[in-house]
Amino acid sequence: MTRFHICAAAAGLFLAATLGGRPALSQETPVVIEICAQCHGEAGISTAPLTPNLAGQRQKYLLKQLRSFRDPGRESADGELLSDRSHPIMNAMTERLNDAELFRLAKYYSKLSCGPEASVKPLPMPEGADKCEVCHGGSRSNPFTDTPVLAGQKADYLLRQLDLMRKPERDLAERNKRRHRLSEIMLDDLDRDQLKEISAYFASLSCHIPE
């Protein structure tokens, strides 16, 4: 166990003790948010390279992720696994939260400002990134509420997600995995150097993309 994991386990225990089950009390939410802030930052902007910013992210997308972490491996109505996500810390974080609380958390973070305008110049668009922008926006708008905005996100975090989605079975032992069939197909013909470049490109863009 790393120090990070111990810290996460402690935060999970605190969460369990604080909530003691799954009550839907609105005054609990600020307490929960203080725990989230330890990793995701007070204003939803994290400082750790592998921990995503949450501020200004799409509400529907955030809710879907929180529900996936809480109920990893849930199948679609026809029994097919279309999307799945598991991470030891986030599994523990969401374990005791009910639907209403997850909804409130997603709403809270989606309403926060995604941060100040980037002070660095955006990188030029690498080959292959234009097809990502159709859904994710970037230099143009992202029309889909269930599709995350990548602009201004942590580059290392994005690359990690791409690694997980490209080879979803890879980190099974670590309980860190991510499966999304559509994304797997999108990443098929890109090698890792290209994915690294694309991650750095999106991270360099301003999160204040036009709606």
Using CB under 6 A, list all residues that contact ligand HEC: 7-8, 11, 32, 35-36, 38-40, 50-52, 54, 57, 62, 64-66, 83, 85, 87, 89-90, 93, 105, 128, 131-132, 134-136, 146-148, 150, 153, 158, 160-162, 178, 180, 182-183, 186-187, 190, 198
We find the least distance from the C-beta atom of residue 73 to ligand HEC, in angstroms, to be 13
Dihedral angle sign, alpha carbons of residues 170, 174, 178, 181: positive
Pick between residue 120 and residue 185 the one whose CB is nearest to ligand HEC: 185
Please spell the DSSP secondary structure of 47-115, one letter per residue: -STTS---TT--HHHHHHHHHHHHSTTPPPTTS---EEEE-HHHHHHHTT--HHHHHHHHHHHHHS---
Q: Whole-angstrom Cα distance, residue 196 to residue 157?
A: 11
We find the least distance from the C-beta atom of residue 100 to ligand HEC, in angstroms, to be 13
Pick between residue 194 and residue 210 the one whose CB is nearest to ligand HEC: 194
Pick between residue 135 and residue 200 the one whose CB is nearest to ligand HEC: 135
We find the least distance from the C-beta atom of residue 102 to ligand HEC, in angstroms, to be 8
Pick between residue 47 and residue 116 the one whose CB is nearest to ligand HEC: 47
We find the least distance from the C-beta atom of residue 54 to ligand HEC, in angstroms, to be 6
Tokens of 68: 């996936």
C-alpha to C-alpha distances, 193 to 39, 126, 169, 196, nearest whole angstrom? 28, 11, 21, 5
Strand partners, 198: none
We find the least distance from the C-beta atom of residue 66 to ligand HEC, in angstroms, to be 5
Pick between residue 40 and residue 114 the one whose CB is nearest to ligand HEC: 40
Q: What is the DSSP letter of 189?
A: T
